[in-house]
Amino acid sequence: MYVAIGIALLVVGSILFHLFSPWWMTPIASNWGSIDTALEVTLYICAIAFIVLNLFMAWAIWRYRHRPGNVAHYEPENAKLEKRLTLWTGVGIAAMLAPGLIAWHEYVTVPDDAAIVEATGQQWQWAFRYPGPDGVLGAAEVAHINADNPFGIDPRDPYGRDDILIETNELHLPLGRPVKMVLRSKDVLHDFYVPQFRAKMDLVPGIVTYFWMTPTVAGSFDILCAELCGVGHHQMRGTVVVEQQADFDRWLAEQMTFGQVLAEAEARGVRLADAAPAARPSGRAAH
């Protein structure tokens, strides 16, 4: 008896909680409205199922609770009803899956005009690299990393010379331009996560992963690590600043290139191209 009321109240309470709780998705700041749409479709279908099933249960418990003289109905199965329920469940599932798969197709199809930006993770900080005027990131791998070459860029790769290196935790992106985030890790798994962008992807040592998005709102947002990466996981923070193209270009022009780093090192008598091990054909960063 009480449990029937309790279930009904929990359903009502859950709806009220949904309507009045202050916690919901952050305002979106990227092109991934399709993900939000798929999420909302899923939510509404699931909410209907949740309300109908639980209220039916509460009603059945109340209506068929044991009282003197109450006898249960004997019905081993009802193939017709079960088939009908299966069918309608299938329809609901398909209605959820379709927008999900469509959004995923978009997610895995990087536009040709996307700018390339690389994020590198290590315990417990972020670093970023832009391809420079040639639009191509120089090959990089962990084996090349040393004190003068923290990104592990192959010093002999001509594409690497104009790469722009950002060793602070601050990433800048131009507003309204698709960007392919290329991800590398130096040590363990990390995950590049900006809640407002919706998109995220793991950084996996040994391989290069990616995702793409278009920032649609100017402002600064938190970058978090969303894959457990050790005791400092919760402190692995960064900031992404989305700004107008002109501001972005101005900022980018102030940053160091790998060519400058090489020149500085050479001025101190360190020739990175000689110090680094020979580049192997395997494990090269994707261009």
> Which of the residues 154 through 183 are near another protein (CB under 8 A)?
183
For residue 172, the cross-strand partners are 241
Q: Which is nearer to another protein, 177 or 233 (CB)?
A: 233
Cα distances from 50 to residues 24, 54, 77, 136, 199, in angstroms, run 19, 6, 24, 50, 28
User: Quick one: tokens of 239?
Assistant: 């900031």
50 near another protein (CB under 8 A)? yes
Q: Report the Cα–Cα distance between both ends of the chain, in Å, rounded.
A: 66
Q: Which is nearer to another protein, 166 or 183 (CB)?
A: 183
- Tell me the angle at which helices 79-108 and 33-63 cross, rounded to the nearest 10 degrees: 160
The single residue among 164, 225, 265, 276 that binds another protein, judged by CB under 8 A, is 225
Nearest to 199 by CA among 40, 37, 36: 36
Q: Which of residues 53-72 bind another protein (CB under 8 A)?
A: 53-54, 56-57, 60-61, 64-66, 70-72
The single residue among 175, 218, 224, 270 that binds another protein, judged by CB under 8 A, is 224
Q: Which is nearer to another protein, 146 or 168 (CB)?
A: 146
The residue range among 14-22, 128-136, 171-179, 259-267 that interacts with another protein, by the rule CB under 8 A, is 14-22
Binding mask 103-142 for another protein (x = CB under 8 A): xxx-xx-------------xxx----------------xx
Q: Which of residues 239-258 bind another protein (CB under 8 A)?
A: none
User: Position 189: which residue type?
Assistant: L
Buried-exposed string 257-284: b where 16+ CB fall within 10 A, e elsewhere: bbeebbeebeeeeeebeeebeebeeeee
Report whether 104 contacts 201 (CB < 8 A).
no
12 near another protein (CB under 8 A)? no
> DSSP character for 242?
E
The single residue among 114, 136, 199, 218 that binds another protein, judged by CB under 8 A, is 199
Q: Which is nearer to another protein, 209 or 255 (CB)?
A: 209
80 near another protein (CB under 8 A)? no
